[in-house]
Amino acid sequence: MSHADRPTKDGRLLVYRHPLLVRATHWVNALCLLVLLMSGLQILSAHPAFYWGDVSTFDRPFLAVGSGLDAHGETRGMFRLGGFHADTTGFLGAVRTSGGQIQAQAFPSWATLPGYHDLGEGRRWHFFFAWAMVLNGLLYLIAGLVSGRLRREMVPSGAQLRHIGGAIWEHLRLHFPKGEEARRYNVLQKLAYLAVIGGLLPLMVLTGLAMSPGMDALVHGLPGVFGGRQSARTIHFLCASALVLFFIVHVVMVLLAGPVNELRSMITGWFAIRPQPEEKA
Amino acid sequence: MSTSRRDWLRGALTGLAGLSVSACNRLSQSPRVNRTLDGAETLTRRVQGALLGRTVLAQEFPASAISRDFRANGSTSPDSDEYRQHVANGFADWRLEIGGLVEHPLSLSLADLRAAPSRTQITRHDCVEGWSCIAKWKGARLGPLLEQAKLKPQARYLALFCADTLELTLDGTGDYYETIRPDDAFHPQTILAYEMNDAPLPVANGAPVRLRLERALGYKMAKYVMRIEAIDSFAKLGLGKGGYWEDRGYQWYAGI
């Protein structure tokens, strides 16, 4: 099947945007990240507190959610960041059950896998999909490096970097590239994807491994790279939060840029661009 | 959008969320899904086993790294008359039995253990829940004790039976126990610790002896150890999964 451009009846041009391997690894990765996030919250429920360094300083967490009883004996949820406290009853620390009662539970059931408290189950899901994510990611990386696609598509050109200010301005006004420019990623996309592929995801894997007593015996310096095992755990959580933020922006951008076209391109590979008048001439 | 349509949409979304939670829960409880997910545990165990081998040591720390508040988890004071009596007379009549598939069963007093080849190490204790603490441990190396008892060739695991009952049951399946492989038992850092931070092991931390298995998570490191048995299979112990917490869903391999 040819991947040459295909004109459509309404004057647009279908271009082959994403090869099969990219589409497949994208969706496998999406599933993995969803399961890892939800099972990660299940694991976190067992001890929803973060520390810096090698060990836990239980009375002085850096970040924590918890529960307690108020003056009337009612269960309240609490959030703590350093010296800052907030009442988060209803969604963190203490959540509303399907029966309407407030009960002590770090996260709402819909956010965790499984929805009931079971650390062993959460770990089972987490490690299976961690392996899947790593193998899927390696497939994507190796194929992208061998074919040269990663360098071609993801590394911003000098010209793109020089005009980054303009790109940010255009993005803020929700003016997305059109015509021939839409054939490739714009500079902000490239930088965001590179930060995820080359930064956040590898950090997730390394900080995850740094929490394994077995891996730490093999590489004594591994937790130390992040400032200790508890720091590695905290960074693991912060990177996961950054990935959630990326996901939100990613989906908002897809919705703004044309969800049908964007989704089709990540399912079939074909992306429609509208040739600009000056390009037609 | 009309109000009724909005209500319908809200209802549908709430219903969908509820459905997906219960679908996820059902998936999580399906034996087939669990067998599949367990495949990753086997993979992790094999990969880490191949990388770690028998002798790679866990990291040890300087004295300055010792935690001021080492959390005592699980049982902190076994609730039996026999154990309370041991505490009352300083474990003078306590004996550690080493038996099962061995040539020479042993019965060791605390003084015998203190006289046995020992090791002192400052290590990090990682709980499956996510927290860590560092302490200094001194104890009898399990390897030399097992050499003395001489394992029979069919011994594939060592079961540690403990004085504490974490869950009250009629059939005794709530008693704490753990199983480990001989390879891990003979690891140089595997000790039956009788001292913590230069003092006799406190009751909250497993007196008179607890296992230190430094390349694993905390639940493997049984406290209040009373008896060690060499066995060929753990299928008939407890609920058959190789440990108190394993019987309740934790992974047998605790290196991750």
Q: Give me the tens of pLDDT residue by residue for chain A, a chain 281 residues long.
A: 689 999 998 889 999 999 999 999 999 999 999 999 999 999 999 999 999 999 999 999 999 999 989 899 899 999 999 889 999 998 899 998 878 889 999 999 999 999 999 999 999 999 999 999 999 999 999 999 999 999 999 999 999 999 999 999 998 898 888 888 888 999 999 999 999 999 999 999 999 999 999 999 999 999 999 999 999 999 999 999 999 999 999 999 999 999 999 999 999 999 999 887 765 43
- Please give the structure tokens belonging to residue B21: 């939670």
- Angstroms from A32 CA to nearest CA on chain B: 13
Facing B134 at nearest CB: one of A55, A59, A212: A55
Substitution target in A52, A124, A131, A220 with the highest count of B β-carbons within 10 Å is A124
Whether A115 and B214 lie within 8 Å, measured CB to CB: no
Residues of A in contact with B25 (CB under 8 A): 114-116
Residues of A in contact with B184 (CB under 8 A): none
Whether B40 and A124 lie within 8 Å, measured CB to CB: yes
Q: Tell me the Cα Rg of chain A.
A: 23
Q: List the single residue in A with minimal CA-CA distance to B245.
A: A120
Tell me how far CA of residue B213 lies from CA of A113, A213, B88, B123, B218, in angstroms. 30, 10, 28, 10, 8
Please, what is the average pLDDT of chain B? 94
Q: Are B147 and B103 spatial neighbours (Cβ–Cβ below 8 Å)? A: no
Q: What angle do CA B77, B79, B82 make, to 5 degrees?
A: 105
CA dihedral A99, A100, A106, A109 (to 10 degrees): 50
Predicted local confidence at residue A281, as pLDDT:
39
pTM more than 0.90: yes
Mean pLDDT over B218-222 rounds to 98
Beta bridge partners of B229: B99, B159
Q: Are A42 and A119 spatial neighbours (Cβ–Cβ below 8 Å)? A: yes
Q: Any idea what DSSP says for residue A10?
A: T
Residue A70: which residues within 8 A CB-CB, separation 6 or more? A76
